[in-house]
Structure 1
Amino acid sequence: MARLAPPELSDMSDAQKEVAEAILSGPRAAIIGPLGFWLHRPGLAAPAQELGAYCRFGSSLPTRLSEIAICTVARVWSAQFEWYAHKKMALDAGVSPAVLDAIRDRTPPPFADAQEAICHEFSLVAQRDRTVPAELYERALSILGRDGLVDLVGINGYYALVSLTLNVFDADLPEGVEPEM
């Protein structure tokens, strides 16, 4: 059971209701994962959900590459709910099941191309070391371009916040779903 329940709509302040409405009327159309926890603090929830919407729906990276990065971050943090939520999205975006299995198992993934490989390697190193060496930075820049690299860093930062939130508040998996990691 999660350590903190999302606020009930009937108990929300006007500010909380405003953020909840923005979430529900946006591309997510549901208050799940960290959003429910963040709603306790609408000043945090509003900009965080906007950043998340950009990272998921407005990034210059194709969804397949974003999902590789997100799943890598989820694995580094062992964020079970994030893994559960984004594994299906990654598969739907065309990420190979073998790649996801390898990320989950912390073995070298069989990537189809250099963009997939660099999104994983960069995310893994950035999350683990809290920076990246110059050589990896230059390689990522040459493969993804400036905009792609900036978006990749943003995705990594946002999903580290998501993973920390989910882990600290011990987010529940849906009933009947077993943890994969």
Structure 2
Amino acid sequence: MTERLPRFDASTATPEQKAVLDEILSGPRGNLNGPFLGWIHSPELAQQAQRLGAFCRYRTGLPLRLSELAILVTAARWQAQAEWYIHYPIALEAGVVQADAEAIRSGQQPSFADPDDALIYAFASELYDTKRVSDATYAAAVARFGHEVTINLVGLLGYYALVAMTLNVFGMRAEGQVTLPFAQ
């Protein structure tokens, strides 16, 4: 997994670590791919983060395509190898256009056909680039998605930035990952 963290051995896991693992494996993810084997060294953080992640991934009120698009923007901005590797095929299956995903990966401006895709990209890009969202972009997001979903979008972007930071700091790769989408 990584040389920065001790290898996790489930046979010697603490009760707190086992509880986290059981909850992740019995939940909608069903696997430990991603930051979880890093977070498991801090079971309380792992438990809180994985619960937030389940909400951000599955219950924001955004269609899966838009959630996955926001995740790809985050993965590209952080150049998070595993995050992109895991979410790229999910995003394509959810309807993100491959050419748009490739433009995002390579740091280019996508030419979105769908206005919702363009809005999610603009919102995420403004937030990452300027650490703010303009009044116009904010108003467009609230008009399209409402306040609650817009708040949830901010949470999704923040959560996946946490995932990206974790993956990058600890040099984590996805299960089976042999190629890197971003130059090292």
Corresponding residue number in structure 1 for 2:115: 114
Mapped partners of 1:36, 1:84: distance in 2: 17
Letter in 2 for 1:53: A
Corresponding residue number in structure 2 for 1:156: 157
Unpaired runs of 5+ residues, structure 2, are none
> Is the 8 Å Cα contact of residues 6 and 37 (structure 1) preserved in structure 2?
no
Corresponding residue number in structure 2 for 1:44: 45
Displacement of 1:138 in angstroms is 1.3
Mapped partners of 2:120, 2:30: distance in 1: 28
* Counterpart secondary structure, 1:140: helix
* Counterpart secondary structure, 1:163: helix
Deviations 1:107-151 (A, max 9, x none): 111212211111111111112222212222112212222222111
> Is the 8 Å Cα contact of residues 34 and 174 (structure 2) preserved in structure 1?
no
Change over 3 Å in CA distance of 1:70–1:91 after alignment to 2: same
Corresponding residue number in structure 2 for 1:141: 142
Corresponding residue number in structure 2 for 1:25: 26
Mapped partners of 1:145, 1:163: distance in 2: 27
* Counterpart secondary structure, 1:95: coil
Unpaired runs of 5+ residues, structure 1, are none
Q: TM-score, normalised by structure 2?
A: 0.93
Letter in 2 for 1:147: E
Correspondences of 1:80-119 after superposition (within 5 Å) = 80-119=81-120
Letter in 2 for 1:19: V
Deviations 1:48-97 (A, max 9, x none): 00010011111200000000100000100010110000001100101110
Displacement of 1:156 in angstroms is 0.4
Mapped partners of 1:97, 1:144: distance in 2: 24
CA RMSD in angstroms, aligned pairs only = 1.4
> Is the 8 Å Cα contact of residues 6 and 40 (structure 1) preserved in structure 2?
no
The range that moved more, 79-88 or 133-142, is: 133-142
Deviations 1:134-177 (A, max 9, x none): 22211221222222211111100100100000000001244463
Displacement of 1:6 in angstroms is 5.0
> Is the 8 Å Cα contact of residues 71 and 157 (structure 2) preserved in structure 1?
yes
Q: Size of the alignment, in residue pairs?
A: 181
Matched, 1:165 2:166: yes
Mapped partners of 1:82, 1:176: distance in 2: 11
Mapped partners of 1:17, 1:139: distance in 2: 43
Identical pairs, percent: 43
Mapped partners of 1:104, 1:168: distance in 2: 20
> Is the 8 Å Cα contact of residues 73 and 159 (structure 1) preserved in structure 2?
yes
Mapped partners of 2:176, 2:83: distance in 1: 15
